[in-house]
Structure 1
Amino acid sequence: MESTKKEVLIEKTLDYFLKYGTRNITMDDLAVQFGVSKKTLYSLFRNKEELLKESIALLWSNYLKEVNSILVSAKNPLIQLIETYSLAIEYVRAFDPIFLYTLKKYHQPVLAEYDCYKVHMRNNIILPLLEEAQEKGYIEQSINLDFFATINFDDLEEKLLAKDIFEKYANEEIMQYYIVLKLKGIVKIEFHTLF
């Protein structure tokens, strides 16, 4: 099925925003960059905020589709969790730190949408995987999973982008230190070989 002009523009704009942020990019700039008239651009999107909002929705939609393929696998919940975060790290690597900075500073309503997706991810994917691992006996019953997720996994992209981690380390090292070792801290020692 052929993508519509609107879908193509959202995809291109998402890539552009991820690389260059959003602050100094106008609708005029985008029209020139993508070879469309301003009239066409404004007929598809009321303003830059709407285009940015749809770009964020596409970013999360793409990520969640890939996560769903991980979740339907027959792997144990710890492996699914690790694969979900491995995928997240790949996605965040594509961000320039300026992207999140400009969202926070100049686009609060869009940032609120972005954060809603993060809450969905946490409450409907991450915590259920941790709970399943706890129910299966991989994680001690005494562990407060909500608190664990809060201090270890919430705002992972901000932690990675703020410290130039991607310039210094490969994805595998990032996974080891930011995800795997933290999980091993709550997983019973006899199950460390599962991941």
Structure 2
Amino acid sequence: MKEKILTKASEMFLNLGFKSVTMDDLANELGISKKTIYTHFENKTKLVEESSLYLLKYISNGIDCIIETDRNPIEELYEIKKFVMKHLNDEQSSPQYQLQKYYPKVYATIKSKQYDVMQECVVSNIKKGIEIGIYRENINIEFISRIYFSGVTSIKDYKLFPIKLFPVKQLQDDFLEYHLRGITTPDGRKILNTLINSNQE
């Protein structure tokens, strides 16, 4: 039952926002009593925290599965972007903003864990790209990986990047292209251009 609650809560928080969803809403959606939810989660903050960690673990596992398919590093980043957007893309309620505003401690925990996951993934991606000659050899891996994380989190700030000016999908595409053009070799740029052209068709 606990996993069922976490799955539904994660889905509702993403679609409607962390602030908007009440325990009553969740109980009604699941067809259970609120008391049953409180058996597993002492309060809404605990539910928000565990739902966020549950979602992060799900995303991390999905990323691991993509990495295991052994694509070239440029394709790998595009596949990861596609997967993450499929599961986290919600233009209306800005779940990250609500999490940060109403549950700052939970947000800080999630951001720290997200950084650890992304850092490992991006460093590995860069090393692999250098090894096969599609990323430049002279880049500072630690710097690039941190700048990438900083960029990924910054473009979710809707004050900096309002949706009316920067639709989410286009913004994600533009940021990834910006990142890759800075680190690719001529061979890497050929792969990148082919991918961009095929995505536009």
Give the TM-score band, short-chain normalised.
0.7 to 0.9
Matched, 1:46 2:23: no
Q: Does the 8 Å CA contact 2:2/2:40 hold for their aligned counterparts?
A: yes
Deviation at 1:166?
A: 8.7
**Map of 1:127 onto structure 2:** 123
Deviation at 1:31?
A: 2.3
Say which SS state the counterpart of residue 154 (structure 1) adopts.
helix
Question: Equivalents in 2 of 1:152, 1:161: separation in Å?
Answer: 15
Change (3 A) 1:95 1:17: farther
**Map of 2:3 onto structure 1:** 7
Which of 1 and 2 has higher RCO (CA within 8 Å, sep 6+)?
1
Question: Equivalents in 2 of 1:36, 1:143: separation in Å?
Answer: 54
**Map of 2:182 onto structure 1:** 185
Change (3 A) 1:153 1:86: farther
Question: Equivalents in 2 of 1:97, 1:134: separation in Å?
Answer: 39
- Count of residues paired in the alignment: 190
| Deviation readout 1:118-141 (Å, 9 max, x if unpaired) | 112222111211122123332222
**Map of 1:116 onto structure 2:** 112
**Map of 2:196 onto structure 1:** none
Structure 2 residue identity aligned to 1:10: L
Matched, 1:19 2:10: no
Q: Does the 8 Å CA contact 2:27/2:34 hold for their aligned counterparts?
A: yes
Select between 58-67 and 92-101 the one with higher mean Cα deviation. Answer: 92-101
Select between 69-78 and 91-100 the one with higher mean Cα deviation. Answer: 91-100
Q: Does the 8 Å CA contact 2:135/2:185 hold for their aligned counterparts?
A: yes
Which consecutive residues of structure 1, in runs of 5 or more, have no partner in the other structure? none
Q: Does the 8 Å CA contact 2:18/2:99 hold for their aligned counterparts?
A: yes
Tell me the percent identity.
Answer: 25
Deviation at 1:170?
A: 7.6
Pairwise CA RMSD of aligned residues?
2.6
Change (3 A) 1:155 1:176: closer
Deviation at 1:70?
A: 1.1
Which consecutive residues of structure 2, in runs of 5 or more, have no partner in the other structure? 193-201
**Map of 1:66 onto structure 2:** 62
Scaled by the length of structure 2, what TM-score is found? 0.80
Q: Does the 8 Å CA contact 2:133/2:187 hold for their aligned counterparts?
A: no
Say which SS state the counterpart of residue 21 (structure 2) adopts.
coil
Say which SS state the counterpart of residue 49 (structure 1) adopts.
helix
